[in-house]
Amino acid sequence: MSLKGKTAVVTGSTSGIGLAIARALAEQGANVVINGFGDAAAIEAERAKIEADFGVKAAYDGADMTDGDAIAAMIAKAEKAFGSVDILVNNAGIQHVSPIDEFPVEKWNQILAINLSSAFHGMRAAIPGMKARKWGRIISTASAHSLVASPFKSAYVAAKHGIAGLTKTAALEVATHGVTVNCISPGYVWTPLVEKQIPDTMAARGLTKEQVISDVLLEAQPTKQFVTVDQVASLAVYLCSDAASQITGANLSIDGGWTAE
Ligand code: NAD
């Protein structure tokens, strides 16, 4: 499959799953816009490495996913620079672990903005161009938590269930325009996001780090293995292929059997 001539915007792609997806799409020939926070020199090194490794154009846009106007501007800028935005991957996400009655209100608002509303803003800005060109792929990184819940993750679970609903709605709206809209629901993938929530889970549940990994994280995953970022990226690439043109409105699990239980 070749994505040569296509342009992909991948939010939250300075690290983890997003970076793997951006690199995998670039490997197929797509120009990519990476986005996210982090050390400026490290981000520039990743951007330049994508160009060097895959011979495509790669740009960086620092749009904050809590800011709808910045998201719309990112899409407009990418369309102007590359001629189109054909693939939108809504991947940016954060986590906060706390009981509901102690959940900081600002964290709730931030998680809903980054993990859910940013996808709405991105779709809203990118869909007109995709419809006009009669081709588009919108993929959101949801989570097993778009299908089932865990305690102490109220905002995250609510936002991810929201992504699943937004995916279905958008898919129906653009179904006759050559645009597919799907979400991918990984179980636990070993990334900085997972690593960072270990101390909070240790505190919330009174467990050691080893116990959090075995009894909380991999407890949910029947295969007892973490999903890899490259496995998630491969599924995103597949969803961009012509073979996947009839997959739309779907929520695809890649969770080692977690949600089968
Ligand atoms: P990560 O922390 O490695 O990456 C998150 C990315 O989002 C980073 O690039 C970060 O800079 C960016 N980001 C955070 N806040 C932002 C903001 N306000 N504006 C712009 N960018 C912002 O995490 P990850 O594990 O790779 O997670 C990526 C996605 O996958 C998230 O939506 C997450 O919920 C989802 N997910 C992760 C797992 C897992 O186990 N790691 C499982 C299921 C779903």
Which pLDDT score is estimated for 224? 87
**Confidence at 168, pLDDT banded by 50, 70, 90:** very high
CB 188 within 8 A of CB 226: yes
Rounded average pLDDT over 22-37: 98
pLDDT greater than 90 at residue 244:
yes
Measure Cα distances from 68 to 71, 121, 132, 183, 200 in Å. 5, 6, 22, 20, 29
Instruction: Give me ligand 1 centre to Cα 92, in Å.
Output: 4
The whole-angstrom separation of Cα 182 and Cα 166 is 10
Which pLDDT score is estimated for 192? 80
DSSP state of 216: I
Measure Cα distances from 166 to 125, 220, 232 in Å. 15, 26, 20
Question: What is the value of pTM for the model shown?
Answer: 0.95
- Does the C-beta of 66 come closer than 6 Å to ligand 1? yes
CB 18 within 8 A of CB 36: yes
pLDDT greater than 90 at residue 98:
yes
**What would the pLDDT profile of 117-156 be if each residue is shown by its tens digit?**
999 999 999 999 999 999 999 999 999 999 999 999 999 9
- Does the C-beta of 17 come closer than 6 Å to ligand 1? yes
Q: Where are the domains of the chain?
A: 7-189+228-260, 190-226
DSSP 143-201: -GGGTS--TT-HHHHHHHHHHHHHHHHHHHHHGGGTEEEEEEEES-B-SHHHHHHHHHH
**Confidence at 191, pLDDT banded by 50, 70, 90:** confident
Task: Say whether 156 is catalytic.
Answer: yes
Average pLDDT of the chain, as a whole number: 96
Instruction: Give me ligand 1 centre to Cα 243, in Å.
Output: 28
Instruction: Give me ligand 1 centre to Cα 68, in Å.
Output: 18
pLDDT greater than 80 at residue 1:
no
Residue type, position 22, single letter: A
The whole-angstrom separation of Cα 203 and Cα 125 is 40
The whole-angstrom separation of Cα 65 and Cα 35 is 9
**Confidence at 210, pLDDT banded by 50, 70, 90:** confident
The encoded tokens of residue 103 equal 């959940």
For tokens 């699943």, name the residue: 164
Which pLDDT score is estimated for 12? 98
Rounded average pLDDT over 171-190: 97
Please list the alpha-helical segments (H only) found in the chain: 16-27, 40-54, 68-82, 105-112, 118-133, 154-174, 192-205, 209-211, 229-239
**Confidence at 197, pLDDT banded by 50, 70, 90:** confident
Residue whose CA lies nearest to ligand 1 atom number 30: 141
CATH tag for 7-189+228-260 (out of 3.30.365.10, 3.30.1490.20, 3.40.640.10, 3.40.50.720): 3.40.50.720
Quick one: which of 4, 191, 165 has its CA closest to 92?
191
Rounded average pLDDT over 73-89: 98
From the CA of 114, give the closest atom in ligand 1: 18
